Each structure stands twice: as structure tokens, then as C-alpha cells.
Amino acid sequence: MKKSCIAMLLAGGQGSRLYALTSNVAKPNIPFGGKYRIIDFPLSNCANSGIDTVGVLTQYKPLRLNSYIGSGMPWDLDSNEGGVYVLPPYMGAGEKGSWFKGTANAIYQNMEFIEMYDPDHVLILSGDHVYKMDYADMLREHMEKDAACTIAVLQVSMEDASRFGIMNVGEDGYVCEFEEKPARPKSDLASMGIYIFNWKKLKQYLIEDENTPGSDNDFGKNIIPNMINAGEKLWPYRFEGYWRDVGTIISLWDANMDMLSPKLIDLYNENWPIRGRSPIRPPQWIGPNAVVEHSIITEGCEVEGKISNSVLSNSVIVGAGAEVNYSILMPGAEVGPGAVVEYAIIGENTKIQAGTHVGTQPDGSEDWGVATVGPGITVAPGAVVPAGAMIYESVEG
């Protein structure tokens, strides 16, 4: 079936800088902002932008992600015309199958999927960004500028620019140079890793890149520079608004804390709903002696202790006399009576038992960091988890 534009979502990354949190799930499947998983943002953006066909490329720990996506029903993507398709690496007739070598190779290996829809344009998305964006507007500009590739860019401060892939723009407004993490940035337009390609062009460059020995098969390192060098028209689509890459512990913690400031990103706007799969649990119960200050709480939670400046996913239990400050509690986490959790991320179904102490307030020292306890772990009574710790296995008291 002919489509004008389909989306390919790169969700295969391990997210190794999230350490214990991605020990059993891929990064896009990390719980976020109470109600969500990170992948809900690009999937909801697709649904809201009228893009009804999405290929999700998986590789690392795909099982839970597959079952989370299911038929695509939670995002209204389970239509007759389109759908969400989970695409693992596969083997063709007479070939030796292989893992995705890089972002571009992942798309290369799934060219057959894209060809089924004979699209004019392909939107490439990443599964680890938190933002609300109208891809239809980006597509409109892409077509208006007759670009071979349109790259979403965000204006960053010049100090930050050296942490990003930076687009230098010529007088005609088109991209003339791409520099990955430049020491001396010439522009403040950072690539958000969101691309719309003319499919015929992209296909040509993917095949060429695949046949180039030694290539990293990566969009940022290979495909984009090759297109610029060949004189293709690359247009920067300027995005204004909230956008965060949540690839590290501190950025994941920061972005969750941002959800406590609805002025930064408005998730309550019904015109652009971000949707996720709900476990359908009873409403949250706030007990008679509970205190809740400046927090986000979700279905199935039971709170009897004190919560402040924290983000609680579904079915979290906080016992009497417990204190949770500046922390992120993922689905099914339990904080026992009298336990203290501060400046911490607690993984799914992890039990922080009575009387333990996880994390500490920032003390200004270099070594301080957010304490992280991975999923499915028990921290036994009396145990202390220091600031900046990364816990993979159960801790005894």
C-alpha cells in the first residue's frame, strides 16, 4: 500500500549508560514521568502527527518491548491502513543474518519493509528522547524546501554545543556542514537525531554506505556527511520546545524532575496527548497520615508515608513513616515503613525494606550522584545505599 511517509523508530540501543536500569529491558522501555515509557513519546507523536505506519527496530532485550507495544492499540496505531511493526534483525534467503552494525545499517537491513509501503519520505526517530513534536509540520517544510533530508535541530547554548552534533548553515539556509561534537562550534544548531529523508535518495545512500568498507554505517557519522559532500539539499527544521535525551542516569533523573514543572512540558494538553499502555489498576490511595508535596503519582499506588518532589509510576507502595524525596520510583517499587529514599532512582518491582536509607542530598562534593537501584532487587532492612551507587544485586542489611 502506497504511503506518503512512514516512520522507522530506532529502539535497539542497549542504553549502557543507564547500567542496572537496562539490565532487563531496552532503553525505550524505561518507565518515565509516572505514566509513561520513553517510547510513548515518539509513538504518540506519530499518532498525533497522522503517521500511521511505524516500524520499531529492536535488537537488545526486545521481549518486554514487544509485549508493551503489542498491536499498537494504546496509541491508536492499530488501524487497518497502518500499524506498529516490531522489526528484529532477520535472515534473508541464502544470507548469514547479522546484528545491526549501526543506525544506518539497521534501516538498510529493513529496506524490504519500507519498500512494502513505497513511501515518498521516511521519518527516522530515536526511542530515547522525551519531547512533543508535530512531524507533519516537519514533513511539510521538508517538501516545501524540496530537501533530500530534513534534520530537526534545536538551538543550544554555545557552551553546550560541543556536546552535540552541530549543523552549520549556509546563506541559503540549507545545511552546509555537519560536525560531531566540535571543540570549537561554529553554530548553535544541534541535531536532535530526527530525520526525514526522501526515500529514493536515502535508499541510494544506504546501499552505497553498506558497500563502503570501514564505514560505521551511522546516520550522523556517515550518511549525513556523505549527502552534504555530494551536494544534496539538507534542510534544518528548527524545533522550539522541550526536548531531552535521557541516555544517562543524571539526564533521566533531571528529565523526570522536569515533569514536576508543567511549564516546561505540558502533558495535560488534550490536543497533543502522550499515551501509554495502562495496567488498569485502581486509583492511587493517599493514606490518612500521608503527606504529598509537589509530586506526580499514578494508578495503583498506595502512599502512607511522605512524598516530596518525586515521580511515582504505577503500583508503587510507600509505607507508613517512609520518606521519599527527589526520587523516581518505577512500577511496582516498594518502600517499606520508615525507609528513606532521596535523590534516587528505584527500578521496577524493587523492594526497599523497612528502615533502609537509599541516597543522600547533594553535599557539593565531586563524588555525589543519584543513587540507582536496578529492577527486581531487595534492599534488606537496615541497609544503606550511598549517593551515586549503582546497585545490580540485592543488598543485605
Partner 1 sequence: MTTDLHGIISAYRTSPDLGVLVHGRTASALTFAGRYRLVDFALSSLRLAGVRNVGVVMQKEYQSLLDHIGSGKAWDFSRKDGGISLLPPFSLDAARSGVYNGLLEALLAVESYIRRIQERYIAIMPGNLAANVDLRAALKEHIDSGAGITAVCAKGTPNGEHHRYIVDDKGDVLEMHYRRISETAGVADLETYIVNKDVLLEMVDTAASLMRYRLHADGIAGYLSRGGKMHSYIHEGYAMQINTVQDYMQANMHMLRRDARRSLFPLDRPILTKDRADVSTYYAECSKVTNSLVSDGCYIEGIVENCVIAPGVHIGKGAMLSNCIIMRDTQIGENVRLKYVISDKYAQIKDGEVLVGSENVPLVIPRGYIA
Instruction: Show the cell assigned to 197.
Output: 529523508
What distances in angstroms separate CA 111 from CA 59, 92, 144, 207, 339, one per listed residue? Answer: 16, 12, 26, 10, 52
* 82 contributes a contact to partner 1 by CB under 8 A: no
Contact 16, 25 (CB under 8 A): no
Minimum CB distance to partner 1, residue 295 (Å): 5
Minimum CB distance to partner 1, residue 288 (Å): 4
Q: Which of 50, 144, 294, 382 binds partner 1 (CB under 8 A)?
A: 294
Q: Count residues binding partner 1 (CB under 8 A).
A: 38
Contact 212, 113 (CB under 8 A): no
* 327 contributes a contact to partner 1 by CB under 8 A: no
* 33 contributes a contact to partner 1 by CB under 8 A: yes
Minimum CB distance to partner 1, residue 334 (Å): 13
Minimum CB distance to partner 1, residue 274 (Å): 7
Stretch that binds partner 1, among 32-40, 177-185, 191-199, 214-222 (CB under 8 A): 32-40
Residue 361 one-letter amino acid: Q
List b or e across 59-86, with b for residues whose CB sees 16 or more CB atoms inside 10 angstroms. bbbbeebeebbeebebbebeeeebebbb
* 381 contributes a contact to partner 1 by CB under 8 A: no
* 298 contributes a contact to partner 1 by CB under 8 A: yes
Instruction: Show the cell assigned to 6.
Output: 512512514
Residues 269-288 that bind partner 1 (CB under 8 A): 273-276, 278, 280-288
Q: What residues form DSSP beta bridges with 391?
A: 373
Q: Which helix (H) or strand (E) holds 207?
A: helix 199-210
* 295 contributes a contact to partner 1 by CB under 8 A: yes
Select from 3, 6, 11 the least CA-distant residue to 87.
11
Stretch that binds partner 1, among 13-21, 150-158, 244-252, 268-276 (CB under 8 A): 268-276
Contact residues for partner 1 (CB under 8 A)? 33-35, 73-74, 259-260, 262, 267-268, 273-276, 278, 280-299, 302, 311-312
